[in-house]
Amino acid sequence: FQLSTSIGIAFSQRSTCVDLIKLADEAVYEAKAAGRGNYKSKQSE
């Protein structure tokens, strides 16, 4: 069998944990939409 991952990464200096989780969640959905074996990152403003 073949295994692949999609990863969402969040960067922030002033966000709460909840905000970081939301950013990472958005990023992982973007990575999944881009296809197998991708990662996406998001940075808070």
pLDDT at residue 45 in the model: 79
Is a pLDDT exceeding 90 seen at residue 42? yes
The full set of domain ranges for the chain reads 7-43
Q: Cα-flanking dihedrals φ and ψ of residue 44, to 5°?
A: -70, 155
Q: Distance between CA 18 and CA 36 in Å, rounded?
A: 26
* pLDDT tens-digit map of 7-39: 999 999 888 999 999 999 999 999 999 998 999
Q: CA 17, CA 23: separation in Å to the nearest integer?
A: 10
pTM of the model: 0.83
How much is the pLDDT for 15? 83
CA dist., res. 30 & res. 39, Å (int): 8
